[in-house]
Structure 1
Amino acid sequence: MAAPGYGKQSAPEQLPRSATDFSHLPAREAYIASLIDHLPDGAAMDVKTLAVLQPHYGQMACRTVLNNLSTAGHLRRVRERISSENCRWVFRTYFSRTPRSDAWWTRFLISGDTGEASTPAAPDPPKERTLNRTPPTSAAYAALAGLGLSDARLALSAADCTALEPLAAEWLARGTTPALFTAVLAANLPPDGVHSPAAFTRHRLLDKMPPERPHPEPSTRLIECTDCRTPCRPHALLGGLCRACRGTPTTPPPPRRRLSPAAVHRHAASIRRTLATAPRS
C-alpha cells in the first residue's frame, strides 16, 4: 500500500469485471492491467512495485506498459492539493478497466463530470398502492413540523410548513442540526403566548438565521504526463502523454538527387583542371 492519500484510485462508473476486459490489449499490457485492476484503492502502482508484484516483467517493461495503458485510455496520473492550509499535495493514479477517451478523462479530472447518463429511475408504483401512503418530506419540512411536538404553542399547519420550508432549509444548509433548530426556535417563548405561530416562526427564522459557513477551497488537481510526470494542461496530453514523451513525427529529408555518369565525369574533369593549374608551394 502507498502512503495514506496516495496510490491507485478507481475511476467511477466502470463496467462490471469480465474475462474480456483487456482482450483488446497486447498480452503484456493485458497482464499488468489485470494485476492493477485487482489491486485495492490506495495501493502503490509505481514501476518498482509492479515489477516486484509479478515475476515476468522488470521496471523498464512496466514503465512502457503504464504508458501504453495511458494511451489506451485506462489510466491517468494526477497530483491533488487536498489542504489549503499547508498546501499538501498527493500523487494518485486513476485507473479504469473500462477504456476512456481523452475528453472523458478531462471532464472527470477537472470538473468531476463523467458525462454518463444517469441510471433510469424505477417506475412509479400503481396509484392504488400509494393513495394511503404519506408523501416524502424534506428535512426542513420535518424540522418545522416537529416544533409543535417541542412546544404546542409553535404548532404549524401543513400549509405553514410548506411556506416556511425554504427558510428552514437555509438554516440546515448552514450547518444547523434539527435538534439545534428546534432548541433555538422554541427557546424563550413570550410568556403571554404565541398568537400566530406561523408569523412568529417566520420572524425568528429571519432574525436568528445562522451565518453562512465558509465554503472549503476546492481541491486543485493537476494532470501529469504518465511517463515524465510533468504537470500539463489537459489539451496538451494525448493518451495521457505530453508531446515530448509521445514523440512528434519528423518530416523526412528530401531524397538526394543523383548525378548522371556524364555529370560525374564533368565534375571530375573540372577538379583535375583546378588541381593542375593551382600554383605549387
Structure 2
Amino acid sequence: MGTQNPNVHPHAQARIAGNKRPNRGHRTGGLLHDNSRHTARFTVIGNHLAQHGQLSLLAIGLGTHLQSLPKGAPADIKTLTARFPEGATRIAAALRELEVHGYLRRERVRTPAGRIVTRTVSCNQPAAGRRHAGTPAPAPAAGRPTAPEPQRRERQEGQEACEGEEGARHGTRRKREPRKQLPDVPRPAFPAPELLRAATDLLADLRRHGSHLLLSAVDTAHPAPGVAAWLERDVTPAAVRHALTTDLPPEGVRRPAALLAHRLAAQLPPPPPFRAPVEDPPAHYRMRNCDGCERGFRAPESEARCRDCRTNPQEAA
C-alpha cells in the first residue's frame, strides 16, 4: 500500500470553465495574451466586428476607430485621411464596407438654419434586430464566407435595428412625433417698435457667438418679446447676450429657440428700483455791476442791467 507505481501517469489538470481547447501555445507557437484590466479610456468592441469574416482588415480597424470616437467628433473622409496614412480611396472603400454590413450609416438631415448636412452614425451591434426578435445571431467564422441570402437578410435586419424603425420588415414606418411648442416668454409692458427691433437685432447677432445659435425668422420672432422685456428693465444688451450664451451644453443645442425662450423666462430680472426724479440745482450766477445804475446784482451773462433798471428804463436813463 505504501509503494507508489512509477508507471502511473500524473493526473490531468482541471480545465478552465469556458475554455474548450487546451492551451498549446507553448508547444505550437500560437497566440498568447498578456492582459491588464482597463480602468479608464477604453471602448468595448464586439468579436462580431473584430473577427468579421467578410470585412477587410482596414474596415475592421476603421470601424473600431469610429466606435472609440466621442459624440460629435468629425468622421468625414477628409478628416480620416489626415488622421491615417491610408489614402482617401481606401478609406472611402472601407467606409462603404462598414455601411454594407450595417456598422455604419450616413444620413442627410436638415439643420435649423435650413442647410443639408451628412450625419455619420456608428452602430456597435448591427445584428441587434435578430437577437431582439428571439433568434440567435450566427457567430461569424473567420475565413468562412456565409451564404449570400442569409448575409443579405442579416445586414438588412441590422440596419433596421440601428435606425430604430419598428416594423420596418413589414413595410411600415414609425410616425414622426409632433414638434413640441416653444416655452412662453415674458412680454414687455410697453412694446414699442424700437424696443422690439432692438431685441430682434440682438437675437440675430447671436450667430456670431456660435453657429448653433443661428435662428430662423420664425424662431427669432418668438423670443423677441422676451428680450424686449429684459431691455425694458434697464438691462444692457451685453448683459442679455451674456445670459443667453453662457454655459451652453458642450454637445451643442438641438433647438436654440427653445433654450433661449427658457432662459428668458427663468432668469428674468426684477424691475429696476423706483428713483424719484432729481430736480436741477438752482443756478448760481456771479456778481456783476449794472450798466445803468452801477449796482451789483446776480444775473446771466445776457442781462446787462439789474431788475430795477429793466422795469424802469426812464429812471435808468
| TM-score calculated relative to the size of structure 2 | 0.27
Q: Please say which structure displays the higher CA radius of gyration.
A: 2
Question: Which one scores higher on RCO, CA 8 angstroms, separation ≥ 6?
Answer: 1
